[in-house]
A and B are shown apart, each in its own frame.
Chain A
């Protein structure tokens, strides 16, 4: 139970910790904005946890997948808006809420299901602390490593790359619902970095790494990353001389 909890925490807490790092680095969020993010996330997560069972039953059992896909698309669109929008901090917060809430809701479901078993509680608590510690350490390492390169272009570029990676997760969900067909894996790098390993989880959270990606996933990832980077460059070269561009 302990190891399993650590693995689940890495899967769900690591993307959240990395996302908050990117928000702090790229948008220099202040305490008030972080409080808004926290409250909004708590409410959204509670709604997702409470409605999950009933939503899952809709659309021939694919209701939660459709909801997740919609939330990931909203997150990506607002991440793009955060590049080129007057209220760029608000757009970044709106982009972050669905991603954090989806991961948090997954972990809360596990906690609620097994936290009530008293014999499992110590393992779950220790595993949660260990998983949170690893996730926070990696996120802080990211902040320390990237702080010297804290230019608008680099940070916004990494922010959009991260959000594109999150949004690419919609493709396996659409394949799961039967909307998109799978194709054969284009390559298999699981011998070098397995999806189940710590590095696999980190690269998945950061870049959307898949050890055996298929064509629909790769094309979507390339399109989302490409579109995002074009928007970053456009914004950088169009507005870098203006006060708004310089401040963002």
Chain B
């Protein structure tokens, strides 16, 4: 019984943790990432949701983040990054590396996201 209660508690706890996980949406249109600069907090696991609005597939690729994920045309894909220390982590579209470029900027604790305007 104790084991069952503990299991339920762990499931609830993990659901809470999942619910609290930050999410960032990145759109891919005309082989460009929008936004090209993705700000995320330090030391937190973040879910990146990549929505490909082009008809061609694209591969989200980053050597710095060690991530590779194919996103089909007119489709979306999810991937997790982090927890990461503060810094800049470039990413690119493997199929259009000259145009599809961006970077994940991990902000130190307490630092605000710069105003885009």
Interface residues in chain A, defined as those with a beta carbon under 8 Å from any beta carbon in chain B:
4, 8, 52-53, 56, 60-62, 64, 106, 109-110, 113-114, 172, 175-178, 181-184, 190, 194-196, 210-212
Are B80 and A109 interface neighbours, CB within 8 A?
Answer: no
Q: Which residue of B lies closest to A179 (CB)?
A: B80
B positions within 8 Å CB-CB of A: 45, 47, 56-57, 59, 63-64, 66-70, 72-73, 75-85, 94-95, 97
- Chain A residues with Cβ under 8 A from B82's Cβ? 181-182
Partner of A176, one of B57, B75, B79: B79
Q: Can you list 11 A-B contacts with CB-CB less than 8 angstroms, sorted by A residue number? A: A53-B72, A53-B75, A61-B77, A110-B95, A113-B95, A114-B56, A172-B68, A181-B83, A182-B45, A190-B63, A212-B64
Given contacts A4-B95, A61-B77, A176-B80, contact A181 B67 (CB under 8 A): no
Tally of A-B Cβ pairs under 8 angstroms: 62
From known contacts A53-B75, A60-B78, A113-B57, infer whether A181 and B45 are also in contact, taking CB-CB under 8 Å: yes
A61 lies within 8 A of B57 (CB): no
Nearest-neighbour CB distance to chain A for B99, whole angstroms, equals: 11
A196 to chain B: which residues have CB within 8 Å?
Answer: 63
Check B83 against A194 for contact (C-beta < 8 Å): no
Closest to B76 in A: A61
